[in-house]
A and B are shown apart, each in its own frame.
Chain A
Amino acid sequence: MSDITEPGRSGRNIPPIAISRMTTEVNLTGSWKYIRPRYEDRVAPCNANCPVGIDIEGYLYLLGQGRTEEAASLLLEENPMPAVTGRVCHHPCEDGCNRANLDEPVAIHSVERRLGDIALASPPPAAPDPARDEKVAVIGSGPAGLACAYHLARIGYRVTVFEAAPEAGGMLRLGIPEYRLPRAILDRQIDRIAALGIEIRCSTAVGRDLPWSELDTFDAVFAAPGAHVGKDARIDGASDTRMVRPGLEFLKEVNAGGRPVLGDHVVVVGGGNTAMDCARSALRLGSEVTVLYRRTPLEMPAIPQEVKEAKLEGVGFRFLATPTAARAKDGSLVGIECQQMELGPPDESGRRRPVPQEEGRFSMIADCVLTAIGEDCDLEFLPEGVEISGGVAAVDELCESTTARVFVGGDAADLPRSVADALGSGKRAAIGIDHWLRERSGEEVAPPDLAALRFGPGGNLSIARERGIDPLHRASPVNEVAGWDAMNPAHFEQAPRHEDHFHAAGDLTATFGEVNFGLSEREFRDEVDRCMNCGVCNRCELCLIFCPDMAIHRRDDGEGFEIDLRYCKGCGLCAAECPRGAMAMSREES
């Protein structure tokens, strides 16, 4: 090899290439910049979309780091019952998932379910120190009531839950069939909540078994009685037979272990989740089931997966149709008269209103009709001062009603009626009650900064943030959702989403056993890996790799990076290459 280090004939030992011979640290290239990068965590759209207010991106990050226990703990900060929501939530988180722009959304609900089950298998939590003297009464042990009780108990309040039914769980137990939510899961989830020192008094309906005045010994009350009164479908002649029944009443009977005889032909009226639950439960009792819905499949409020499963199991659907009259013979239902509908102009909900189609009448054979067109609340038990508007209690964002110390939430407030919304409402009530009680006891407390507690500008509140116990380090977070335009898709590869495994449709009509088996361990890991941690630094280190000035260093505490602005030239590569929009550039002040 010829030696390329030989000096030139001019006698000076000049290397053959431009190579530094001493440190270049004296050259403070940072003085060149006119824009500078910074780490700025934003909010992942899943978090912003979650009605519960869960740091989904956060627990997916921890799972991705192999920190499963911390992930479960973070999940449980905001959601008292992930094993339940992982099974029954309509997962709007996935609707927001940026990954849909790359391939398909992350199967967040499946990950939550598995993580929830992992948490369920761990020893029950110890009851927290009763740091507070105040006692809080919670009316209703559905998701809203239990969430409020859970969060208050964790702060240290003494909570008693009053439940009208013989067992706790509210609509989770009464309304949701076992094939969607096994009772063993629900029982264990509730046991863990009760283990926080919460007293749950069942078969105690406030207003019926216990007068409201008995609650005077409590410092605050949260009423979450749910919506249990089925709306009247206004079918002529329905009262001539017992076989035109409210669907919810049927579900409660089945879910309590009853196996009513419905006959060969069952017609379910409605297009929501209650209708799907009625149809699939009726199918399991041996009937042939047709769902009658007055709009089209596009307007159905039911979770699409529920509709899909109902169809797979053999439920028939007839759209743009509504029952008008029942035909009974000797007290037995024999059929119904129906009206064919068509879609007219949109109503106040934005959905096109169905209007009768002229000469569109038909009849159907029916041995039983289950009506599931929505439920109303019975709020008679509430004290007079609580303002009721449109059938629900008028409350503020923290569930405070128009009467002092009375908070109302869940289905009894003006909310979308979902388990997730109820859980979110219970959490907001806990924040509201905690704040109200502290203020009352003379503590100097600033009003909760709702904007700062929210996941994104419109998401639910984080109680971990409110309590100052968010375990994740966030770099100067801004409450802005990281949309697809914030992402750098060049750094992600397509990977198909794993769908839950289901019981074969042919077998399941004979059983109320769980139909959805979730994901395997490997698939669960894959889904965790598919998370792009939108808007949040997940320590991928691309910034560090791309920085041409080696001006980015890992922080000593392991929580992300710091930028040595003495050398950062402000080229912006780090921010441009950040796969997840967790960096921003700003102009230098001159």
Chain B
Amino acid sequence: MKKVMIGNHAVSWGVQRSRVEVISAYPITPQTQIVEELSDMCADGRLPARYIKVESEHSAMAACIGASAAGVRTFTATSAQGLALMHELLHWAAGGRLPIVMADVNRAMAPGWNIWTDQNDSLSQRDTGWIQLYCETNQEVFDTTVQAFRLAEQINLPVMIILDAFFLSHTSEPVDLTDQEIVDEFLPQRVAQYKLDPSDPHAFGALVRPDAYMEMRWQQQEAMRDTLRVMPEVDEAWGALTGRRYGAIEEYRTEDAELLLVTSGTITSTARHVVDARRSSGEKIGLVKIKMFRPFPTALLRSALAGADRVAVLDRNISPGHGGIFAEETRSALYDVPLEDRPTLFGYVLGLGGRDVTPSVIEAIVDRTREAEAPERQDLWVGVEL
């Protein structure tokens, strides 16, 4: 069934189709419509889930952790400061190996107070142990939501689905809502390996001494490594049922490309237009979209980028004191590429706090990357110093 809907509601419908059992959330712009729609669904019976009202995002995640530990499928959504407030509990969710799925609508961090999109909120949670999946379209948002539950439950790690504020959250696009029977086939009921069970009582999350802590962390890392394999399998299983696949990364017109753009989120769609236009005028240019940021698809990215002359990474985020975060991770991934195949990497910081990234902005980046001898610095601020 195709429906025109905003990205926020694409999340809600993905949650509905996934038969989530417990939702706990606290409203925050630009996420609120996700949980508003879900609360309507819970109220009118479209989704027979328990909706737990809470007084903060910290509590929302705590409630999800409790519910997930009890063995049920659990969802929440947030943005920016709300996500930051959850920080401590993000560690609890991941360390507890709880397959919680959360939508984060990318919103710039305050101050200055700003409700528009950039990725610093989700990227600040990079090291909490959550899988991070960035989306480009509302259809991808819906599909990723459903996939996220299967991935999370298969690997026992929490998954963050990430979508751009307003460009996706509040923009309407046609979305094919996969029929329930197909989703049911794809996503069986959750079976928790460890769960709170009064008939077999255990304490969860208690003290772990130095002789065991590292083994636990190692297993978490193993799970992240497994994710590099499992995520494409889940994507393929979904693709077999629906015809829609995304991959951990997507290579767009990269064959024989001399210059590659590396993008994530909605900037990708804009960049596709630029790539198409330049290709039609004979330029050897392509695009690599990073969907999965954690675990970082190092090998995939390395093979996609090696051999190009130049790579321009477009970062809607900044790690202050370092550079654009996708650029730095990409640079790190390329370190093992032999020098002769290693492209020169240009890191562009742009679009922070929701500033528009138009085709002409990307055109300018392409031209500059092509013409410059070398990047002057690891972070080049588009619209500020360029």
Q: Is the Cβ of B96 less than 8 Å from the Cβ of A12?
A: no
Encoded as 1 (CB less than 8 Å from any A CB) or 0, chain B from 229 to 241 comes to 0100000000000
Interface residues of B in 149-207 (CB under 8 A from A): 153-156, 191, 193-194, 202-207
Q: Are A19 and B97 in contact (CB under 8 A)?
A: no
C-alpha gap A5/B223 in the complex (Å) = 12
Within 8 Å CB of B193, what residues of A? 1, 3-5
Report the separation of the CA atoms of residues A9 and B97 in the bound assembly, to the nearest whole angstrom. Answer: 19
Contact (Cβ within 8 A) A8 B219: yes
User: Any chain A CB within 8 A of the CB of B216?
Assistant: yes
* B186–chain A nearest beta-carbon distance, Å: 14
C-alpha spacing A245/B208, complex, angstroms: 90
Bound-state Cα–Cα, A14 to B216, Å:
7
CB neighbours (8 Å) of B206 from chain A are: 18-20, 24
B215 touches A8 (CB 8 A): yes
Residue B212 at the chain A interface, CB threshold 8 Å: yes
Distance between B352 CB and nearest chain A CB, rounded to angstroms? 37
With contact pairs A2-B226, A8-B219 given, residues A19 and B212 touching in the complex (Cβ less than 8 Å): no
Q: A2-B155, A24-B203, A24-B206 given as contacts; is B95 within 8 A of A17 (CB)?
A: yes
Contact A19 B156 (CB under 8 A): no
Q: Report how far A9 CA is from B225 CA in the complex, Å.
A: 15
Of the candidates A2, A16, A24, the one whose C-beta lies within 8 Å of that of B220 is A16
Q: Count contacts between A and B, CB distance < 8 Å.
A: 66
Answer yes or no: A494 CB below 8 A from chain B CBs: no
Report which of B156, B204, B218, B226 forms a contact with A18, defined as CB distance below 8 A. Answer: B204
Which residue, A5, A7, A9, A15, has most C-beta atoms of chain B within 10 A? A15
Residues of A within 8 A of B153 (CB): 1
By beta carbon, the residue of chain B nearest A490 is B55
- Which of A3, A8, A16 has the most chain B CB atoms inside 10 A of its CB? A16
Whether a CB of chain B sits under 8 angstroms from the CB of A476 is no
Asked if B97 and A12 sit within 8 Å, CB to CB, the answer is: no
CA A58 – CA B226 in complex, angstroms? 61
Tell me the nearest residue of chain A to B191, going by C-beta.
A1
Task: State whether A4 touches B204 (Cβ < 8 A).
Answer: no
A10 beta carbon closer than 8 Å to chain B: yes
Q: Is the CB of B208 within 8 A of A18?
A: yes
Closest CB of chain A to B156's CB: distance in Å? 5
> In the complex, what distance in Å separates the CA atom of A6 from the CA atom of B218?
11
CB of B237, distance to nearest CB on chain A (Å): 14
Q: B216 contacts which of A1, A3, A17 (Cβ < 8 Å)? A: A17
Which of B154, B155, B204, B230 is within 8 Å of A17, CB to CB?
B204
Q: How large is the interface on B (under 10, 10 to 19, 20 to 34, 35 or more residues)?
A: 20 to 34
Q: In the complex, what distance in Å separates the CA atom of A24 from the CA atom of B216?
A: 20
Q: Which chain B positions have C-beta within 8 A of A21? A: 202
Q: Separation in Å of the A16 CB from the closest CB of chain B?
A: 5
Instruction: State the CA gap A296–B148 with chains docked (Å).
Output: 71
Q: How far is the CA of A2 from the CA of B223 in the complex (A)?
A: 9
Q: Which residues on the B side are within 8 Å of A8 (C-beta)?
A: 215, 218-219
Q: Which residues of B contact A6 (CB under 8 A)?
A: 219
Contact B202 A4 (CB under 8 A): no
Shortest Cβ distance from residue A576 to the other chain B in the assembled complex, whole angstroms:
14
Given A2-B155, A2-B230, A5-B193, A19 and B215 contact (CB-CB distance below 8 Å):
no
Give the Cβ gap from B265 to chain A, nearest Cβ, in Å. Answer: 29
Whether A12 contacts B223 in the complex (CB less than 8 A), given A17-B97, A18-B208, A24-B206, comes out as no
Q: With the chains together, A17 CA to B194 CA distance in Å?
A: 9
CB B249 to nearest CB in A, in angstroms, measures 22
DSSP majority for the A interface?
loop
Q: Nearest CB to that of B211 among chain A residues?
A: A12
- Residues of A close to B226: CB separation below 8 A: 2
**B96's contact among A2, A10, A14, A17, by CB below 8 Å, is which?**
A17
- The answer to whether B155 touches A20 (Cβ under 8 A) is no
The one of B191, B202, B212 that contacts A20, using a Cβ cutoff of 8 Å: B202
Q: Which residues of A contact B191 (CB under 8 A)?
A: 1
Please name all residues of chain A whose beta carbon is closer than 8 Å to the beta carbon of B97 when the two chains form the complex: 4, 16-17
A24 to B202, CA, bound (A): 9
Which A residues are in CB contact (< 8 Å) with B208? Answer: 18
Q: Which residues of A contact B203 (CB under 8 A)?
A: 19-20, 24
For residues 83 through 125 of chain B, which have their beta carbon under 8 Å from a beta carbon of chain A? Answer: 95-97
Taking the closest CB of chain B, its distance from the CB of A322, in whole angstroms, is 58
Q: B207 — which chain A residues lie within 8 A by C-beta?
A: 18
Closest to A550 in B: B201
Chain A residues, Cβ within 8 Å of B96: 17-18
**8 Å CB contacts to B: which residues of A1-55?**
1-10, 12, 14-21, 24
Which residues of the other chain, B, contact A14 by a CB distance below 8 angstroms?
212, 215-216, 219
B202 contacts A16, C-beta separation under 8 Å: no
Inter-chain CA distance A139–B159, complex, in Å, is 83
A30 vs chain B, min Cβ distance (A): 16
Query: Per a CB cutoff under 8 Å, which of B154, B156, B205, B230 touches A16?
Result: B156
Chain B residues with CB under 8 A of A20: 202-204, 206
Complex Cα spacing A2 to B193, Å: 10
- Most chain B CB inside 10 Å of its own CB: which residue of A3, A8, A10, A12: A8
By a CB distance below 8 angstroms, the chain B residues around A9 are 218
Which A residues are CB-close (under 8 A) to B205?
A: 17-18
**Nearest chain A CB to B61's CB is how many angstroms away?**
17
The reply to whether A2 and B204 form a contact with Cβ atoms under 8 Å apart is no
Q: Which residue of chain A lies nearest to B227 when distances are taken between CB atoms in the complex?
A: A2
Which residue from chain A places its CB closest to the CB of B230 in the assembled complex?
Answer: A2
Complex Cα spacing A9 to B155, Å: 19
Q: Which residues of A contact B204 (CB under 8 A)?
A: 17-20
Measured CA separation A474–B136 after assembly (Å): 63
| Nearest-neighbor residue (CB-CB) of A23 within chain B | B201
Q: Which residue on B lies nearest to A21, using beta carbons?
A: B202
Cβ–Cβ contact B215 & A12, under 8 A: yes
Query: Known: A1-B191, A4-B97. Is A16-B216 also a contact (CB below 8 A)?
Result: yes
Q: Separation in Å of the A573 CB from the closest CB of chain B? A: 14
- Docked complex Cα distance between A338 and B203 (Å): 83
Closest residue of chain B to A11 (Cβ to Cβ) is: B215
Cβ–Cβ < 8 Å partners of A16 in chain B: 97, 156, 216, 219-220, 223
The docked-state distance in angstroms from the alpha carbon of A398 to that of B130 is 73
How far apart sit A19 and B195, CA to CA, in the bound complex (Å)? 10
- Pick from B95, B156, B215: contact of A4, CB below 8 A: B156
Q: How far is the CB of B295 from chain A (nearest CB, A)?
A: 14
B-side contacts of A2, CB under 8 Å = 154-156, 223, 226, 230
Complex formed: what's the CA distance from A21 to B220 in Å? 20
Q: How far is the CB of B287 from chain A (nearest CB, A)?
A: 32
User: 20 other contacts beyond A2-B230, A18-B208, A19-B194, with CB at 8 A cut-off?
Assistant: A1-B154, A1-B191, A1-B193, A2-B223, A4-B97, A4-B156, A4-B219, A14-B215, A14-B216, A15-B194, A15-B216, A16-B216, A16-B220, A17-B95, A17-B96, A17-B97, A17-B204, A17-B205, A18-B206, A19-B206
CB<8 Å pairs between A and B, sample of 21: A1-B191, A1-B193, A2-B223, A2-B226, A4-B156, A4-B193, A4-B194, A8-B218, A10-B215, A14-B212, A14-B215, A14-B219, A16-B223, A17-B194, A18-B96, A18-B205, A18-B206, A19-B203, A20-B204, A21-B202, A24-B206
Which 10 residue pairs spanning A and B have beta carbons closest together? A14-B215, A20-B203, A8-B215, A16-B219, A20-B202, A14-B212, A18-B208, A4-B156, A17-B97, A19-B202
> Chain B residues in contact with chain A, CB under 8 A?
95-97, 153-156, 191, 193-194, 202-208, 212, 215-216, 218-220, 223, 226, 230
